[in-house]
């Protein structure tokens, strides 16, 4: 999609297939009081009848399309609701921009122009939100349909009033385009069926991406995994005929301090049957998305390489299938992780924490001083938080504050869950150091405290994205299917370390 910023002193004079403006509800009570934002006499006049009739209310993501609007050079005027004016934020604007694009796509409208609404946090935030929202909205999951029609938007224009901040708006647009494209790249990976994205194929896609943006990439197979004594990772991989891949992506910008070195570790289970502890058949087809954490790291590394923050970052993805076979590990087996810890396997479907255990330890051997991992790890997190929030855990308050600052920019929803020592007691083994599951209760926290044993004293954040990595129903602003959750937050997380040499 072509994205550009143009100076337009008066948006009413712009010739475009569709001019997009935002409406906000200015009322403090139940009776809507809509007003267009930004205000423009010609656009207000064109939409006056729709406002007076109550067809436009300002309700969030409400879309009203007017053909041949009087007094405008645009062929159409789309008025998209942003909700209550008093609480209108860049998060609401991102969704509204996405809703606008998804309202236009089925009508085969291939280009549009957005006005920049007034936003409390400024015009740069507004531009970023519009562009990110538009890119995310442009993705559809129907990749393999034989009758697939191309509804994608070809070009969007952001109308700037001009002035001294125009260069800043242009930079904001370019940064948002990179993040939007990278989130969609992650979604493309997650959307692929497992026969078309094996661990080897995922590694190839990661390597090609790295080559295109100038990242160093190393791909390692089973021999190297076993040579490095990654017994936890290998225990999952041994049951599949598909070879595992350890993907290592390195971003080392010139001028960056020696420390910190951030380690981004992702779970890359390209299909999860549960292994010998096999899952029920109902819904198993969705287990192609069990590599969403790894895909998020790949997408984030793409964005980081293009945005070029002055921070060293290493991305690690442990990619394998989890399959039942005569070679598969069994409940009761004991595996020795790369760190030397002995793990009793209670349930082979608790495999994500096994691959991450070795991924986290390996990141430390590469010199990472701060760690963050992402995984579709536990159903327990979905039970606790549903599809609204993803879970976040941290062993260090300072790194957690970095992550919360990232969330204020990314707008993604995460909720902190506990890591009390009692959860570790629930996974202590009588035959080994720890068990890979602590039973039914507190499953998200016992999984996280398992990982904490491998992060040890290194500042670490764990993201359990099981409930939010896949969207079951279409939303006004985004298609059902893979969400690309965590890409935006990971990028913003890395940026919070710029200028921090600790």
Task: Name, in order, each residue with C-beta under 8 angstroms of 264's C-beta and a sequence gap of 6 or more.
Answer: 297, 300, 301, 313, 314, 315, 316, 372, 373, 374, 490
Task: Name, in order, each residue with C-beta under 8 angstroms of 421's C-beta and a sequence gap of 6 or more.
Answer: none
Torsion 190-194-195-201 (CA) sign: positive
Integer CA distances (angstroms), 56 to 11, 49, 328, in order: 20, 9, 59
Characterise 75 by phi-psi region: left (phi > 0), alpha (psi -120 to 50), beta (else).
alpha
DSSP state of 396: -
Beta strands in 123-244 (DSSP E): 155-160, 216-220
DSSP state of 165: T
Q: Which is it for strands 334-336 and 342-344: parallel, antiparallel or unpaired?
A: antiparallel
Question: Quick check: is 4 catalytic?
Answer: no
Distance CA 424, CA 341 (A): 14
Q: Which of 279, 405, 413, 416 is catalytic?
A: 279
Distance CA 337, CA 229 (A): 7
Quote the Cα angle for 236-459-357, to 5°: 10
Show the 3-state SS of 401-439.
HHHHHHHHHHCCCEEECCCCHHHHHCCECCCCCEECCCC
Question: Quick check: is 353 catalytic?
Answer: yes
Contact by Cβ (8 Å): 255, 310: yes
Distance CA 403, CA 393 (A): 10
SS3 309: coil
Distance CA 57, CA 64 (A): 10
Q: Which of 205, 353, 409, 495 is catalytic?
A: 353
- Token pair of 57 as six digits: 């209310």
Task: Name, in order, each residue with C-beta under 8 angstroms of 440's C-beta and a sequence gap of 6 or more.
Answer: none
Asked if residue 185 has a cis previous peptide bond (ω within 30° of 0), the answer is no
Q: Which one, of 407, 419, 411, 415, lies nearest residue 391 by Cα? A: 415
Q: Where are the alpha helices (DSSP H) in 272-326?
A: 292-307
Q: Which is it for strands 414-416 and 261-272: parallel, antiparallel or unpaired?
A: unpaired
> Which residues are marked as active site?
279, 353
């Amino acid at each position: 999609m072509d994205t550009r910023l143009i100076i337009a002193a008066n948006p009413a004079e712009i010739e475009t297939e569709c001019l997009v403006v935002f409406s906000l509800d200015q009322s403090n009570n139940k009776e809507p009081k809509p007003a267009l934002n930004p205000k423009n006499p010609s656009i207000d006049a064109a939409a006056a009848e729709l406002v007076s009739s109550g067809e436009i209310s300002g309700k969030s993501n409400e879309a009203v399309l007017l053909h041949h609007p009087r007094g405008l050079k645009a062929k159409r005027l789309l008025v998209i609701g942003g909700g209550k004016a008093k609480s209108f934020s860049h998060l609401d604007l991102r969704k509204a921009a996405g809703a606008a694009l998804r309202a236009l796509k089925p009508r085969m409208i291939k280009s549009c122009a957005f006005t920049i609404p007034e936003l409390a946090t400024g015009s740069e935030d507004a531009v970023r939100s519009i562009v990110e929202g538009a890119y995310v909205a442009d993705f559809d999951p129907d990749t393999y349909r034989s009758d697939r029609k191309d509804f994608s938007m070809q070009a969007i224009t952001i109308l700037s009033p001009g002035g001294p901040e125009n260069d800043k708006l242009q930079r904001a647009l370019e940064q948002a385009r990179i993040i939007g494209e990278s989130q969609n790249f992650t979604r493309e990976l997650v959307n692929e069926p497992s026969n078309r994205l094996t661990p080897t194929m995922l590694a190839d896609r990661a390597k090609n991406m790295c080559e295109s943006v100038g990242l160093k990439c190393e791909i390692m197979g089973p021999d190297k995994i076993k040579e490095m004594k990654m017994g936890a990772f290998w225990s999952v991989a041994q049951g599949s005929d598909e070879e595992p891949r350890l993907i290592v992506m390195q971003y080392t910008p010139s001028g960056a301090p020696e420390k910190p070195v951030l380690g981004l570790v992702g779970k890359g289970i390209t299909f999860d049957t549960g292994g010998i502890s096999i899952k029920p058949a109902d819904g198993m087809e969705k287990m192609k998305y069990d590599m969403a954490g790894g895909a998020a790291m790949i997408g984030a590394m793409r964005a980081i390489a293009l945005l070029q923050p002055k921070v060293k970052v290493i991305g690690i993805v442990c990619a394998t299938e989890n399959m039942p076979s005569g070679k598969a590990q069994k409940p009761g087996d004991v595996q020795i992780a790369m760190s030397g810890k002995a793990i009793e396997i209670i349930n082979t479907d608790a495999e994500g924490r096994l691959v991450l255990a070795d991924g986290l330890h390996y990141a430390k051997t590469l010199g990472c001083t701060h760690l963050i991992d992402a995984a579709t790890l536990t159903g327990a997190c979905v039970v606790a938080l549903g599809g609204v929030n993803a879970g976040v855990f941290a062993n260090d308050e300072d790194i957690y504050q970095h992550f919360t600052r990232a969330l204020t920019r990314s707008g993604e929803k995460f909720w902190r869950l506990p890591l009390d020592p009692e959860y570790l007691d629930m996974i202590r083994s009588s035959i080994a150091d720890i068990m890979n599951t602590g039973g039914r209760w507190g499953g998200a926290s016992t999984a996280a405290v398992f990982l904490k044993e491998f992060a040890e004293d290194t500042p670490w954040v764990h993201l359990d994205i099981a409930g939010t990595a896949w969207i079951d129903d279409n939303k006004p602003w985004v298609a059902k299917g893979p969400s690309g959750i965590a890409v935006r937050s990971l990028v913003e997380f890395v940026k919070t370390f710029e200028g921090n040499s600790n």
